[in-house]
Amino acid sequence: MSTATYIKPSTATLDRPVLAIRTTDNPNHHLWNNNGTWWFHYTEHLPDYTKRRVRKSLHTDELGIARVLRDSLLCNAAHFEEEVTREHAA
């Protein structure tokens, strides 16, 4: 079973899109291996109601490192969104 979690500030802009992060029981979600290199992928929801699919190379062939890098990128996105929301609330 999966659920979608949206990490978003109060208002999305073209340079600050809303991230849609689906969480599942799969520890490799958002990761895929392309010819030995792990990649991270996610979807951004833009304020004009369009979506942008983003792909980023993690520059590693090790799954454990790829998971840590993915988690770090998601954590940084969540922290950034919290900071933006906190600034708008002030």
Question: Each residue of 47-58: pLDDT tens digit?
Answer: 888 888 889 999
pTM of the model: 0.64
Q: What is the pLDDT of residue 22?
A: 59
Long-range (24+ apart) CB contacts under 8 A made by 36-43 are 36/61, 37/61, 38/62, 38/63, 38/65, 38/66, 38/69, 40/66, 40/69, 40/70, 40/73, 43/19
